[in-house]
Chains A and B, each alone.
Chain A
């Protein structure tokens, strides 16, 4: 197995395990509490409204929005880490078909792996700090994945053009 394939498959398996562990931790310790809080806060906001308590109602809706913000990102991170891990494994199986030198494929594999780790990391950091830094981290990860995917697609297409040229020559 070539080095670039090994990088993708091993990183993919490790990232999938990490993503599942994160999901398991979240499901056991946070998800049900978050869902209860989302539903409870929403209903409590309307109940406070029915009792004419507008300040409490606004507080409950703020609670709902904050919990929903964290919940959406935690679920996104879980599914993106696992989804990207699956993509790494699938690319790992077929990476020799990407028509670059092995050194080029290794660089590409590292870019893809870095992006697959950094992008969801930036998203989960937003649940701790809603400032600019987590968004920049997620943005860097997204750019790395985008560059790697574009290069991989180019590598596959290049392979196709080469084979068609060979077929025409024959």
Chain B
């Protein structure tokens, strides 16, 4: 089945699921090969900064913070690529949902869907490249080619969304705004029995769990974390200054504070990651409830894919949260949870592509 023969809705559903799967795999690779190593390097740079304070060397301090800035950019661009790819996946699924309400010819809607998909691939790929391309061959002093390409990708996404919006407004302005044809198409994709409803209920409960966790964190931990952050930085400087007139210099206290500061950052990061992942999985589950009618799998396989999706959606954030207590074991289990979600999404994708082929065969007959 080629893109040219797919309907706009199917292009958006297929590309949406592919974006989410790719974004999740990228996130896993990033977590295993970049995230922790990067955090260690940031910790070492803080150690260098405290050494420079003790050695009364402001230039070395600035060099250390320059390095920390580079490491944060490296991490930030990768997190951005991961988040944008998954969010574009969500947006594609949401646009697929709105297709029956977009009053444009099918060929125009398909072109807009392909334009959206191109932009949605270009933006995260270019954001990923920003750290490596930097300002090479750029005629500007502060913006590189990768950033320009990323902005262009964003522009394509905006144009595609604007096109869809025009279609929505045309539909709202037309006299047959309550046409039953739309409802029929909606029903076809939505009436998939228990799997749709399980995804709706499960998705809403996941969002509720994520919301409650976020509210608890904001109410009881956030202020304390911010105070500890400030206290650790002040102590880091004090401990280093205390060594300025001593020989030999003993940086043991400063090292301990840097280590504690690193653990604090990790504590904040796992809480934020667990909060955002469980809510995103909840939203994904709700969006996938709408496409169950397009999934050509046996009822038992569809149920299995939903169970895997919901199980993975709980396991990943819960074990991300437990990473500080259980270490690598929790990280491994969280990755396994992510794998369950990827398997479930792949099963649904297979069912949707199979459904498309069956549709083509039916049309030929």
* Interface of A toward B, CB cutoff 8 Å: 1, 39, 42-43, 45-52, 54, 57-58, 61-62, 64-65, 68-69, 72, 83, 86-87, 89-91, 93-94, 97, 123, 135, 138-139, 142, 145-146, 149-150, 152-153, 156-157, 159-160, 163-164
- Those of B199-246 within 8 Å (CB) of chain A: 200-201, 204-205, 207-208, 211-212, 215, 218-219, 226, 229-230, 233-234, 237-238, 240-241, 244
Report yes or no: A50 in contact with B56, Cβ–Cβ below 8 A.
yes
Q: How distant is the Cα of A42 from the Cα of B42 in the complex, in angstroms?
A: 14
Report yes or no: B212 in contact with A156, Cβ–Cβ below 8 A.
no
* Interface of B toward A, CB cutoff 8 Å: 49-50, 52-53, 55-58, 60-62, 64-65, 69, 90, 94, 97, 178, 190, 193-194, 197-198, 200-201, 204-205, 207-208, 211-212, 215, 218-219, 226, 229-230, 233-234, 237-238, 240-241, 244, 279, 283, 286-287, 289-290
Report yes or no: A90 in contact with B94, Cβ–Cβ below 8 A.
yes
Q: Output the nearest chain B residue to A62 by Cβ-Cβ distance.
A: B230
Report yes or no: B204 in contact with A156, Cβ–Cβ below 8 A.
yes
Q: Output the nearest chain A residue to B234 by Cβ-Cβ distance.
A: A61
- Shortest A135–chain B CB gap in Å is 8
- Total A-B contacts with CB atoms under 8 angstroms apart: 119
Report yes or no: B212 in contact with A146, Cβ–Cβ below 8 A.
yes
- Shortest B319–chain A CB gap in Å is 23
Residue of A42, A64, A72, A90 with most partner-chain B CB within 10 A: A90
- Shortest B178–chain A CB gap in Å is 7
Q: Name the prevailing secondary structure of the B interface residues.
A: helix
- Residues of A within 8 Å of B237, CB to CB, are 45-46, 48-49, 54, 57, 61
18 contacts between A and B (CB under 8 A): A46-B52, A46-B61, A46-B65, A48-B237, A49-B237, A49-B238, A50-B53, A54-B238, A54-B241, A61-B234, A68-B229, A93-B97, A93-B290, A94-B290, A97-B200, A153-B204, A160-B201, A163-B194
Q: Output the nearest chain B residue to A40 by Cβ-Cβ distance.
A: B65
Residue of B61, B90, B226 with most partner-chain A CB within 10 A: B61
- Residues of A within 8 Å of B205, CB to CB, are 153
Report yes or no: B197 in contact with A97, Cβ–Cβ below 8 A.
yes
Additional pairs, 9, CB under 8 Å, beyond known A51-B56, A152-B204, A160-B197: A49-B237, A49-B238, A61-B237, A91-B286, A135-B219, A145-B211, A153-B201, A157-B201, A160-B194
- Residues of A within 8 Å of B215, CB to CB, are 142, 146
Q: Output the nearest chain B residue to A164 by Cβ-Cβ distance.
A: B194
Q: How distant is the Cα of A95 from the Cα of B55 in the complex, in angstroms?
A: 65
Residue of A47, A64, A83 with most partner-chain B CB within 10 A: A47
Q: How distant is the Cα of A152 from the Cα of B204 in the complex, in angstroms?
A: 7
In the complex, which of the residues A43, A72, A94 contacts B289, with contact meaning CB atoms closer than 8 Å? A94
Q: How distant is the Cα of A58 from the Cα of B61 in the complex, in angstroms?
A: 16
Report yes or no: B218 in contact with A149, Cβ–Cβ below 8 A.
no
- Residues of B within 8 Å of A149, CB to CB, are 204, 207-208, 211
- Shortest A167–chain B CB gap in Å is 8
- Shortest A107–chain B CB gap in Å is 17
Q: How distant is the Cα of A42 from the Cα of B212 in the complex, in angstroms?
A: 33
Q: How distant is the Cα of A65 from the Cα of B166 in the complex, in angstroms?
A: 45
Q: Output the nearest chain A residue to B46 by Cβ-Cβ distance.
A: A46
- Residues of A within 8 Å of B283, CB to CB, are 86-87, 90
Report yes or no: A150 in contact with B208, Cβ–Cβ below 8 A.
yes
Report yes or no: B211 in contact with A146, Cβ–Cβ below 8 A.
yes
- Shortest B87–chain A CB gap in Å is 10
Report yes or no: A160 in contact with B198, Cβ–Cβ below 8 A.
yes
